[in-house]
Amino acid sequence: MGEKKGFFGKLVAGLQKTRDNIIAGVDSIFSGFSAIDDEFYEEIEEILIMGDLGIQTTMSIMEDLRRKVKEQNIKDPLECKQLLMDSIMTQMDLGENAYEFEKQRSVLLVIGVNGVGKTTSVGKLAGQMKDDGKKVIVAAADTFRAAAIEQLSEWAKRAGVDIIAQQEGSDPAAVVYDAVAAAKSRHADILICDTAGRLHNKKNLMEELKKINRIIDKEYPEAYRETLVVLDGTTGQNALVQAKQFMEVADITGIILTKLDGTAKGGIAVAIQSELGIPVKYIGVGEKIDDLQKFNAKEFVSALFHVEEKEEA
């Protein structure tokens, strides 16, 4: 419980700028208006868009808000705050099988452009799953730079998990081939593959991912497949563009949204789920092993609006 509070605290602190950006504005609207009129709605709308929730998401939140206000015959602008929070939460529903890969024997492919936090997230996830009593293997399939392999080795050491790696410049698919063999013979619960992110060369990236996927499909068909795109939360709408590009080259099953510590663009978490229909499954709020956790919509919205979460029995 202490750990969870710690993470929530970090999330609250991390979302400070987002909160200043969105919520301070929203609060002033709630207290500044005495009636719910078009102008009131327009101001909320503007703030949500500025807070990087995106036009589409904002429209659907506003529609939901207007409908509820009408249905519940609400007259006081202040009462709209909870409705707004509820509405944002509904935009971020995870779906039932979001973490199925943790229960089954699985292969988790982590993809994304350079610098977004792939290797760090692989390391954090490996550590946490190992702590949960799972047999974890990580694969250094970013063979582009020697530093990337070293970085993952460091994380593997820290996490106490096995790593499968080859030299710099080797074929990433060959690394994955070796890693799959190791996962099978060592009865790993999960194989987590780090990859290189050279989106500037989309064709190469596509070919590389296809090849990796073919190998996993062929050599390890019984494994449950999970493919997470890592997006840097500080890049705002650009993260959305990246996610769309990766959707074209792979079957994405979820998002890891990193660097939510200290960005004013935390609203992007809502936009990603709502606009792409892909759930944000993990969020990162720092560089340490515990600074990555499962996404919890209620916690996120509470942190965003800085409402103390009630302890649930």
* Residue 162 CB partners (closer than 8 Å, separation 6+): 136, 137, 138, 156, 182, 186, 188
Is 116 among the residues that bind ligand GDP (CB under 6 A)?
yes
Is 286 among the residues that bind ligand GDP (CB under 6 A)?
yes
The rounded distance, in Å, linking the Cα atoms of 165 and 271 is 36
Sign for the CA dihedral angle at 36, 37, 43, 45 comes to positive
Structure tokens, 51: 């807070």
The rounded distance, in Å, linking the Cα atoms of 270 and 266 is 8
191 binds, among Mg ion, ligand GDP, none (CB under 5 to 8 A by kind): none
Single-letter residue type at 213: N
259 binds, among Mg ion, ligand GDP, none (CB under 5 to 8 A by kind): ligand GDP
- Residue 29 · residue 44 · CB < 8 Å: yes
- Residue 258 · residue 120 · CB < 8 Å: yes
- Residue 255 · residue 243 · CB < 8 Å: yes
User: What's the closest the beta carbon of residue 99 comes to Mg ion, in angstroms?
Assistant: 23
Q: How many residues at the interface with ligand GDP, by CB under 6 A?
A: 18
Site string for Mg ion, 208-247 (x = CB under 5 A): ----------------------------------------
Is 283 among the residues that bind Mg ion (CB under 5 A)?
no
User: What's the closest the beta carbon of residue 73 comes to Mg ion, in angstroms?
Assistant: 54
Return the H-helix or E-strand segment holding 181. Answer: helix 172-185
Radius of gyration of the chain measured on its C-alpha atoms: 21
The rounded distance, in Å, linking the Cα atoms of 260 and 7 is 12
Site string for ligand GDP, 178-197 (x = CB under 6 A): -------------------x
Is 118 among the residues that bind Mg ion (CB under 5 A)?
yes
Is 114 among the residues that bind ligand GDP (CB under 6 A)?
yes
Q: Which ranges constitute the DSSP H helices of 220-267?
A: 237-249
Task: Find the binder of Mg ion among 21, 58, 87, 119 (CB under 5 A).
Answer: 119
Structure tokens, 259: 């660097």
Is 115 among the residues that bind ligand GDP (CB under 6 A)?
yes
Site string for ligand GDP, 266-285 (x = CB under 6 A): ------------------xx
Q: Which of residues 17-56 bind Mg ion (CB under 5 A)?
A: none
Is 108 among the residues that bind ligand GDP (CB under 6 A)?
no
List interacting residues with Mg ion (CB under 5 A).
Answer: 118-119, 148
Contact residues: ligand GDP, CB under 6 A: 112, 114-120, 197, 230, 258-259, 261, 284-287, 291
